[in-house]
């Protein structure tokens, strides 16, 4: 899925007044994803949300490719990412989870910067900057020209990035990018994610959640595990010096 939908949040005040109460009534664990245009704005949002009952944690969107100011400009500079996380850290007692962009060369260094700045966890990945052209009209398919790519097309890259971050930081990782099946969930967990998020798949199949939960439970049972944490980061990388077999293609 290639989108240029932007951030259509209703604003923090309306969110607290209109959206939070029903979530609270359902005893939902609410992680609020916030985005600002300045460091000050992130900190201000964090402060306001810290006073609202029923918020479990804050996810910092420093990686949205669809807005011109803020967001990704913090996510693409190590100093910017560090400053935003540190400022929010000072502003709130809530767990702080910066969400990393994959549109950088070395995502692990951003995870490290986030950890050093006091992040409680990181989540990744946001969408990949991408473009599609209608060949008949030769015009970009999106009026924004660029958009964010999500869904199954990005999964192997996201898995690689989760794996890289797992090697780089000790804080928990929330992994995502193209999860469509329970095996995809398991793949992210094995790569090193402590938890996963599912975005695009919900749009294709609103019944995806029970299917993923069923499949994950079946996987754990089949492999004799009692809990999800038993498989986190359990990828087995063969000793390369010992293998001489040619690399196969994975589809």
Partner 1 sequence: MCTLGCLAGQPLKSLETAARIVAADCPDCQLPGSIKGSQAILRGMPADVDALVLSNDRLSEAYNVVKLAAPAIAAAVRPGQFVMVREDHAGAPLLRRPFSVFEILRDAAGEPTGFSLLNKQVGVVTRALYALEPGAHLQCLGPLGQPFSVAAPSGAAWMVAGGVGLAPFATLAEALRAQGTPATLFYGGRSVRDLYYAGWFERLGVRVVLATEDGSRGEAGLITAPLQRELAALPAATELMIHACGPTGMMRAVAQLAQALGRSTEVSLEPVMGCGLGGCYSCVVPVRTGPQAAASQLVRSCLHGPVFPGDRVVWNELAPAH
Q: Binder to ligand FMN among 104, 178, 189, 216 (CB under 6 A)? A: 178
Token pair belonging to 56:
């479990």
According to the binding rule CB under 8 A, does residue 23 interact with partner 1?
Answer: yes
Full strand arrangement of the beta sheet holding 31-34: 31-34, 57-61, 96-99, 122-124, 173-175, 195-196
The nearer residue to ligand FMN, 71 or 87, going by C-beta atoms, is 71
In the annotation, is 76 catalytic?
no
Residue 183 CA to residue 219 CA, distance in Å, equals 8
Query: Is 47:91 a contact under the CB 8 Å cutoff?
Result: yes
Tokens standing for residue 203:
């749009």
The site that binds partner 1 (CB under 8 A) totals a number of residues, namely: 30
Residue 191 binds ligand FMN, judged by CB under 6 A: no
> Interaction with partner 1 in 213-242: which residues (CB under 8 A)?
213-214, 216-217, 220-221, 227-228
Q: Work out whether 156 is an interface residue with ligand FMN (CB under 6 A).
A: no
φ/ψ (deg, to 5) at 179: -70, 120
Nearer to ligand FMN, 34 or 117 (CB): 34
Q: Which of 16, 179, 189, 232 binds ligand FMN (CB under 6 A)?
A: 179
At 32, which helix (H) or strand (E)? Answer: strand 31-34
Burial label for 195, CB within 10 Å (0-12, 13-18, 19+), is: middle
Show which residues are catalytic: 64
Binding site for partner 1 (CB under 8 A): 1, 3, 5, 8, 22-23, 26-30, 151-152, 200, 202-207, 209-210, 213-214, 216-217, 220-221, 227-228
């Amino acid at each position: 899925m290639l989108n240029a939908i932007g951030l259509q949040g209703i604003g923090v005040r309306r969110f607290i007044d209109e959206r939070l109460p029903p979530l609270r009534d359902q005893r939902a664990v609410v992680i609020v994803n916030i985005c600002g245009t300045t460091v000050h704005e992130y900190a201000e949002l964090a402060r306001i949300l810290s006073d609202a009952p029923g918020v479990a944690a804050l996810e910092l969107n420093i990686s949205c490719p669809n807005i011109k100011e803020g967001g990704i400009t913090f996510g693409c500079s190590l100093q910017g990412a560090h400053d935003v996380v540190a400022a929010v850290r000072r502003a709130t007692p809530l767990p702080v989870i910066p969400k990393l962009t994959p549109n950088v060369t070395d995502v692990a260094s951003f995870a490290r910067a986030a950890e050093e700045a006091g992040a409680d966890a990181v989540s990744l990945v946001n969408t990949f900057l991408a473009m599609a052209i209608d060949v008949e009209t030769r015009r970009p398919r999106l009026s924004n020209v660029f958009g964010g790519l999500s869904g199954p097309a990005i999964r192997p890259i996201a898995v690689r990035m989760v794996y890289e971050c797992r090697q780089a930081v000790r804080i928990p990782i929330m992994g995502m990018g193209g999860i469509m099946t329970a095996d995809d969930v398991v793949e992210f967990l094995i790569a090193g994610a402590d938890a996963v998020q599912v975005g695009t798949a919900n749009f294709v199949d609103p019944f995806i959640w029970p299917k993923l939960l069923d499949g994950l439970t079946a996987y754990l049972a089949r492999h004799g595990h009692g809990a999800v944490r038993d498989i986190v980061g359990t990828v087995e990388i063969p000793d390369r010096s010992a293998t001489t077999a040619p690399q196969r293609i994975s589809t």
